[in-house]
Amino acid sequence: MSELSELKKKILKLTRDYSREVHSSNRPSTDPLKFSWNVGDVIPYAGRVFTEDEVEAAVSSTLDFWLTLGSEGLNMENELSRFLGTKKTLLVNSGSSANLIAISALTSHKINSEKRLNINDEVITVAAGFPTTVAPIIQIGAVPVFIDADPITGNPKCDQLEAAYKPGKTKAVMMAHALGNPFNLLETIEFCRKYGLWLIEDNCDALGCSYSMPKDIANRLGFFENSPGLNDGDENIIRWTGTWGDLSTQSFYPPHHLTMGEGGAVNIINSKKLSVIAESFRDWGRDCWCPSGVDNTCNKRFDWQLGDLPKGYDHKYTYSHLGFNLKPLDIQAAIGRVQLKRLPEFIQLRKDNWNYLRKGLIKSQEFLDFALPTHATSWDSENGFSWDHSGCKTDCSWFGFKIAVKKEAFFSRTDLAKILDKNKIGNRMLFGGNLIRQPAFVELKKNRPSAFRIALDTKGSDQIMENTLFLGTYPGLTKEMMDFEIDVINNFSNHTST
């Protein structure tokens, strides 16, 4: 056995040596071993940021060859749950699957009938964003109701929530924190509390963002403690995004705040019942909660009587929901556990990179609009953000650096995108733009007019679709890369204006 252990050590040492030689471009920007970027090289908008530690973890797990979700997965679920301060975190195979599990959990027969999400019940969401925030609502047979998005924050116009509400039909709100900018949680939570609605936070772009609320208001809404790792101010409760609602979701796809390759998570904030239900939907719909390879943790495996099954039917093969199999591999979880240790550094680098780009692009603000965090009213290079009178603030771990071309500009968003592309600077639209303009939704409305509802006009989402793109803020960006981006954009906007 000792010979095998020594052999594994040798393999892992060679693995680390190989990774250092081959993957230097993927190291964090602060790492002295990161490759030197040169003009003419590609600047990705996002990407995997890792060292030999993640590669070693993946190879070590592969050599052990458990494969399916096991001890690495359980440890990562516990570690992420502790970081956020949630009741439970469940790993899944993607952020899209996480959204599907979260909304499906609300359809369970184990939930009180008045709160349960039934066929044709309505879920309020936002028109601008990524389609798999909305698709699961339709896939479970519910009706998404779209409110508009604000072109500056990229987030939902929460003052439209009341207009979207329909008594007896509206059961939940499910919206994303756009590009790492928390949406107006105060207004949303007050609305949900008023009508007894579920709140699902799509936190896929916002891991490591926080939202603060005056203590008197937070206490009135049932929040009395800050999240782990966050210090409350004298007058505010501060919590991570993804911990204010009933459920939240994460994505660990490579562009996100940490990566497992493919992967995601469902966070259950307070409810043990929702934890059991969500896990059932993830794991084939089974009623048993024993992890793979473990039996009879309830000590009554052959004593249950559920449904019309005979008493004593094996609990491991008893199904309470029409579920899925959406677990990731243990190998992915091994990578994710190393990434999770880097998360505080990654969060800070994303903030620093956003600020660096914002200061560098002051020369272009005559023609370009830049994002403001929710509750911010302005920004200046000396003092940073000014805030509204709500007492709430947001601290953004930015997923991207949002740029909108003003109407007064002598160039379009597409012109800017082409220049960036020509200079090998990665850029993206704000995902699907106004989703109701997408072919899938146009066809859906044509074939089934009642499939979704639009609360009010979506002019803000149209502006985002027509005028907005974003650059990267990911932790692999170096100052040399960002300086080049700044020069290209400033030179282009100044040249165009002459």
| Same domain as 253, residue 105 | yes
The pLDDT of residue 231: 84
pLDDT for residue 371 is more than 60? yes
Give the CA dihedral 349, 355, 356, 359, nearest 10 degrees: 180
What is the pairing mode between strands 264-268 and 210-214?
A: unpaired
Indicate if 351 and 467 belong to the same structural domain: yes
Percent of the chain with pLDDT over 90: 95
Instruction: Check whether residue 380 and residue 488 sit in a common domain.
Output: yes
Statement to judge: residues 269 and 367 lie in one domain? no
Could you tell me the pLDDT band of residue 229, with boundaries at 50, 70 and 90? confident
Q: What distances in angstroms separate CA 274 from CA 139, 285, 407, 425, one per listed residue?
A: 20, 13, 47, 43
- Structural domain count of the chain: 2
Residue 469, pLDDT above cutoff 70: yes
Cα dihedral 347, 349, 355, 356 in deg (nearest 10) = -170
- The answer to whether residue 132 is domain-embedded is yes
pLDDT over 80 at 496, yes or no: no
Q: What CATH number corresponds to the domain at position 430?
A: 3.90.1150.10
For residue 313, give its domain range. Answer: 71-317
Given a cut of 70, whether residue 366 has pLDDT beyond it is yes
In a domain, 23, yes or no: no
Q: Which two tokens stand for residue 250?
A: 């994460």
| In-domain check, residue 385 | yes
List, as one string, the DSSP characters of 314-331: -GGG-BSS---B---BHH
Measure the CA–CA gap between 238 and 36, rounded to whole angstroms.
39
Q: What are phi and psi of 91, to 5 degrees?
A: -75, 140
User: What's CA 106's distance to the chain center, in Å?
Assistant: 19
**Number of neighbours of residue 238 by Cβ within 10 angstroms:** 18
Which of the four pLDDT bands, split at 50, 70 and 90, describes residue 498? very low
Please check the confidence at residue 460 and state whether its pLDDT lies above 90: yes
189: Cβ contacts below 8 Å, ≥ 6 apart: 199, 221, 244, 245
Pick from 255, 264, 151, 142: nearest CA to 203: 264
CA 120, chain centre distance (Å): 26
> Residue 244 above 60 pLDDT?
yes
Structure tokens at 104: 């499906």
Is 256 in the active site? yes
Helix (H, G, I), strand (E, B), or coil: what is residue 235?
A: coil
**431 within a domain of the structure (yes/no):** yes
Asked whether residue 56 is assigned to any structural domain, the reply reads: no
Q: What percent of the chain has pLDDT over 70?
A: 99
Q: How far is 119 from 140, CA to CA, in rounded Å?
A: 7
Indicate the pLDDT class of residue 112, thresholds 50, 70 and 90.
Answer: very high
Which of 283, 317, 351 is the last residue before a domain boundary? 317
User: Looking at the structure, do residues 260 and 364 belong to the same domain, yes or no?
Assistant: no
Residue with tokens 């939202």: 211
For residues 348 and 441, give the distance between their C-alpha atoms in angstroms, rounded to a whole number.
37
pLDDT of 497 higher than 90: no
Q: Are residues 351 and 277 in the same domain?
A: no
96 part of a folded domain: yes
pLDDT averaged over the chain? 96
Nearest to 419 by CA among 367, 463, 372: 367
Among 403, 426, 53, 394, residue whose Cα is nearest residue 212: 394
477 within domain boundaries: yes
Whether pLDDT at 232 is above 90 = no
Confidence tier at 234 by pLDDT (50, 70, 90): confident
Contact predicate 266/247, CB 8 Å: yes
Domain check: are 296 and 405 in the same one?
Answer: no
Q: Please say which residue of 302, 317, 332 terminates a domain.
A: 317
184: enclosing H helix or E strand: none
Instruction: List the CATH number of the domain containing 231.
Output: 3.40.640.10
432 and 307 in a common domain: no
> Residue 333: which of 12, 53, 69, 62 has the closest Cα?
69
In this predicted structure, what is the pLDDT of residue 447? 98
Residues 222 and 307 in one domain: yes
Q: Which entry of 23, 109, 256, 315 is annotated as an active-site residue?
A: 256
228 in Cβ contact with 202 (< 8 Å): no
Confidence check: pLDDT of 347 > 70? yes
Whether 254 and 396 map to the same domain: the answer is no
- Domain co-membership, 204 together with 303: yes
- With both helix axes pointing from N to C terminus, report the angle between 95-105 and 272-282 in degrees, rounded to the nearest 10: 120
Query: Are 89 and 206 found together in one domain?
Result: yes
Give per-residue pLDDT as tens, 152-169. Answer: 999 999 999 999 999 999
Provide the pLDDT for residue 449: 97
